[in-house]
Amino acid sequence: MKYTVILTEEQGRFQATVAGLPDCHVKANTRLDALNTIRDAINRLIGRSEIVQLEVPTNPKFSNLHSDVPWEWFGAFKEDPTWETLFDDIERQRSTD
C-alpha cells in the first residue's frame, strides 16, 4: 500500500508526516533515515489498527431522546391492512432459512 509522506527539512533535520495520519510522524538526521523510520511507524500503526468504512446518512435525523417514549407509538399501525402481510412474509422467510 502506498502512503503520501510529507517530508520537510528544518535546521538540518528531517521530519516525515503521513498525510491523513497526523499522529504518524518522525524526526531524523537524514532524509533516508526519516523515510525508513516513517515506514516503520506506518507498519506499527497499521499493525495495531483496524480499517473500516462506515456509511453515514447525509441528512441524519435528530430527536430529543428524553421526550421520545418507545411505547408512545404502540398500536399506531393496528389499522394498516399490510401489517399482517408483512409479518406473514417474515414468517415465510424464517421457515425457508
The domain spans of the chain are: 5-47
Q: How far apart are CA 36 and CA 8, in angstroms?
A: 15
Mean pLDDT by 10 residues, the chain (97 residues): 93 94 92 97 90 81 61 73 80 80
Phi, psi of 94 (to 5 degrees): -60, -40
pTM of the predicted model over 0.85: no
Are 24 and 45 in contact, with CB atoms under 8 Å apart? yes
DSSP 26-66: EEESSHHHHHHHHHHHHHHHHHT---------SS-----TT
